[in-house]
Amino acid sequence: MKPIITPIALAFGLAAVLPLWALAQDNALPEGFATSPVLKTTVTRDGDTIAWPEGTPEIVSVIGTIEPGGRTPLHQHPVPVYVFVLEGEVELRTEGGDPHVYGTGEAYVEALNRDHQLFNVSDSDARILVVFAAAEGQPTTVAGE
């Protein structure tokens, strides 16, 4: 005679197995590898919704170095831009917004289509990683007015 699995037995079996499966799914990273969250957002640092450009997606990344007392030119971005401060301390000044200082290990998403500048406010070089989420052939930066 073939054994019959009762609904109660099935429920108990699933209750015993599902937590193990869920644990395996939550721990998808291999042993010896860990991550530290830096930034997760749907808005820019000024609270504007991030708008993705139309066209063929293209990621562009650069590392910028700003000397002590130096700055970027006045500019704006028509595409989403992620900035991570690798070293030093910088002050972001955005048109219509309050200045904000970011230090080593901090990140933000630039304002879209709004003039801004980044100033090195530390005594040593400031290094930033800048990642642009653009469309192929689209400019990532436009001179400020």
Q: Is this model's pTM higher than 0.85 or not? A: no
Q: What is the CA radius of gyration of the chain?
A: 23
Using alpha carbons only, give the angle 139, 83, 59 rounded to the nearest 5 degrees.
Answer: 45
Rounded to an integer, the average pLDDT of 58-84 is 94
Q: What SS3 state is found at 106?
A: coil
Distance CA 101, CA 82 (A): 16
Rounded to an integer, the average pLDDT of 8-12 is 45
- What is the per-residue pLDDT for 17? 46
- What is the per-residue pLDDT for 48? 84
Q: How confident is the model at residue 70 (pLDDT cuts 50, 70, 90)?
A: very high
Q: Mind listing the pLDDT tens digit for each residue in 113-129?
A: 999 999 999 999 999 99
- What is the per-residue pLDDT for 134? 92
